[in-house]
A and B are shown apart, each in its own frame.
Chain A
Amino acid sequence: MKHIPFRKILIVNRGEIAIRVIRACKELGIRTVAVYSEADADALHVRHADEAILIGPPAPRESYLNIEKLLNTAKETGAEAVHPGYGFLSENAEFAEAVRTAGLSFIGPSAEAIRIMGDKAESKIRMKAAGVPTVPGAEGIETLAEFEEAAAEIGYPVLVKAAAGGGGKGMRVVWKKEELEEGIESARREALNAFADETLLVEKYLPNARHIEFQVFGDSHGHVAHLYERECSVQRRHQKIIEETPSPLLDNELRAKMGAAAIATAKAVYYSNAGTVEFIVDPTTKEFYFLEMNTRLQVEHPITELALGIDLVQWQIRVAAGEAFPYSADDFAPRGHAIEARLYAEDPANNFLPSTGVIFKFNEPRGPGVRVDSGIATGSEVSHFYDPMLAKVIVHAEDRDTAIQRLQNALRHSIVHGVITNVDFLQAILGHDTFQMGTVTTRWVEKTFGDWQPSPNIPLEALIAASLADFVQPAAAIKDYTSQSSSDPYSPWKSASGFRIRRVK
């Protein structure tokens, strides 16, 4: 009989990651408390949890980011630990501190580790001291003259970025001296808006780099392990789209070197729980540099889970309860190849603007080696308040080519009606020679797909289907049939799609 680490956990997140955490809790025999905003009363994560508490209006600031309300919820429900998921408060040192001060366990690293790694300038200084290679650059500078001097020394192009940054915000690539002042100003504005902190740093920009990150895991007993890499070079505006493991670039020698650097990074901040050390790698020289450390569970964690056969979320919970993390990289023999594609509610034909609406249909792909982590179901509303990611389609196969084919087929069976998705865009990437060869660099998507548009053609089959649908409808709708105007040729299935669920458990 396994020891149960906690009796009840509060999950202060929403969408697929809240559901992912609930699943791990259920397996461990832990009761779950979900929180939701007014916009999420019908959301899937609310249905999955044992209890669900309304915490406020839709705006994140008043609900999912409201520390006081979340702590009160923890107290009122008797939760013993808090899982932050990713995004929202997951990398907020103040929240981690407040949870622990309230006598609860925060499922994540120390507030100090979050604070250090959240400061891109300070973390860089620490990593240099720890002997981890960092991108040549300068931090702790302020005036234009200082930036000009630093940029001249490291050589253009340079990247000006917010010290408090993340997710590509407050970041500008500057190609020559004349553009530096403007780049600094716009990065500052954005940094001030997004992080209320205009501190910038400058570093060498590597236009043809690969983004390769290492999963690390530490425990409260001082042990830190790396759990191999994930390559995330397929990005659009610094947002990851497709991730895979193993990286097509790494050989065992480089993997071992980077893994050791990842462990050194985590140890430098006495890291406990799951974290990710991001590197950029120059594919020609095979030099790698510390980029940043994400002090939380990563969106793309499932590919590591599939290739290693480990449950990272379960271990997050167990380690937070004081258990030792028993593994090192050598305990695993990563198997085959895993790829994840992020299905977003966004319109590639319309500058990737988020698409909102009610989900009329969501067909999840199934089959051997296919995993779907999703936060939506028929009837879910996709609102403009939150991240437009609908689901992650993750595949595992014996080798990379087979995994790509599996993902292509899975995406063909990922059908979403109600919002426009990026599924055609994902297919265009997966089908591209450069992706298939495994040589994608971080600017490749923008260079290759800058003007990409979905095909404007509609096949005859689609038109026939749309016409036939008005003749044919599910029998479930029959009972409402007589109330419909007989001359109305429209909305044949309207009555079948109005799906509501219980609001309160």
Chain B
Amino acid sequence: MKSHFEYKGENYTLDLTPLGEGFHIQFGERTAEVHFARGADGQVVFILDGRKVETHVSADGKRRWVSFGGQTWMLEKTSGVARGAGGGTSSGRLLAPMPGQVRAVNVSAGDAVEKGQTLLVLEAMKMEIRIQAPMDGVVGRLVVGEGDTVEREELLVEVD
């Protein structure tokens, strides 16, 4: 899943691939593994290459206010014109990034879904985590239902 941002005329593209427990990050030549730790009240804490990173994020339409290390940036989220080509690399098997409870299931097996569409919502540690379609496709197996408790890395849904 690619995220595109603009800051002071420069464009930045970050590719996040959900892994068993977290995300694989591709940023230009740089790759890294990110483990989501927790978040509340706009705070987003994650582990990047084994190091704990504390950030604050606010969303205002397409704007993302991000604070890290005492500095704040106002990023503009863009659609990313060059999007789409690399979509096929994402896996259609969506796993729970952390233990939690399924709060909402928005799709049924057989539904056609678009890339980025939210399939279900997981609540963990008072945070809501959206499980989104990594590509255009059809919902194959829907493993969990609303109210289910899931463990980390448990299969939630498959998109073919």
Contact = CB atoms under 8 A, between A and B. Distances in A.
B128 A466 contact: no
B8 to A, nearest CB: 6
A317 interface: no
Interface stretch (A100-108, A240-248, A397-405, A492-500): A492-500
B130 A468 contact: no
A361 interface: yes
- Chain B, interface size category, equals 35 or more
A422 B41 CA distance: 24
Contact of A474 (B8, B41, B64): B41
Interface stretch (B85-93, B114-122, B150-158): B114-122
Given A473-B127, A491-B61, A464 B46 contact: yes
A437 B41 CA distance: 39
Interface stretch (A12-20, A31-39, A44-52, A411-419): A411-419
A499 B142 CA distance: 37
Interface string A456-473: 101111111111111111
A363 interface: yes
Contacts of B48: 460-461, 464
Contacts of A415: 56, 67, 72
A469 B57 contact: yes
Given A363-B56, A477-B128, A459 B41 contact: no
B19 interface: no
A489 interface: yes
A472 B44 contact: yes
A478 interface: yes
Interface in B29-46: 30, 32, 34, 36, 39-42, 44, 46
Give the dominant DSSP class at B's interface: strand
A466 B56 contact: no
Contact of A423 (B64, B72, B118): B72
A143 interface: no
A122 interface: no
B7 A458 contact: yes
A252 interface: no
B44 A470 contact: no
Given A458-B7, A459-B69, A464-B25, A471 B130 contact: yes
B103 interface: yes
Given A462-B68, A464-B25, A468-B46, A474 B59 contact: no
A304 B57 CA distance: 36
A308 interface: no
A421 interface: yes
A468 B64 CA distance: 11
A360 B56 CA distance: 11
A461 B36 CA distance: 12
A492 B130 contact: yes
Interface stretch (A257-265, A294-302, A480-488): A480-488
Nearest to A358: B60
B66 A418 contact: no
A489 B116 contact: yes
Most chain B Cβ neighbours within 10 Å, of A454, A456, A481? A481
Contacts of A477: 128
Given A361-B65, A412-B70, A418-B60, A474 B114 contact: no
A416 to B, nearest CB: 7
Contact of B68 (A360, A411, A465, A493): A465
Given A464-B14, A466-B3, A478 B123 contact: yes
A45 B126 CA distance: 32
B55 interface: yes
Contact of B59 (A363, A416, A490): A490
Contacts of B55: 461-462, 464-465
B44 A469 contact: yes
B64 A466 contact: yes
Interface in B5-30: 5, 7-8, 10, 12, 14, 16, 23, 25, 27, 30
A493 B39 CA distance: 13
Contacts of A420: 72, 74
Contacts of A475: 123, 126-128
27 contacts: A358-B60, A360-B42, A361-B56, A361-B58, A416-B72, A417-B56, A423-B71, A456-B8, A458-B75, A460-B32, A461-B69, A466-B77, A467-B3, A468-B39, A468-B46, A469-B57, A469-B59, A470-B3, A475-B123, A475-B126, A478-B103, A478-B104, A482-B106, A489-B132, A493-B58, A494-B60, A497-B59
Interface of A: 349, 357-358, 360-361, 363, 411-413, 415-418, 420-421, 423-424, 427, 454-456, 458-475, 477-478, 481-482, 486-487, 489-494, 496-497
Closest 6 CB pairs of A and B: A412-B70, A417-B65, A465-B55, A360-B58, A417-B58, A469-B57
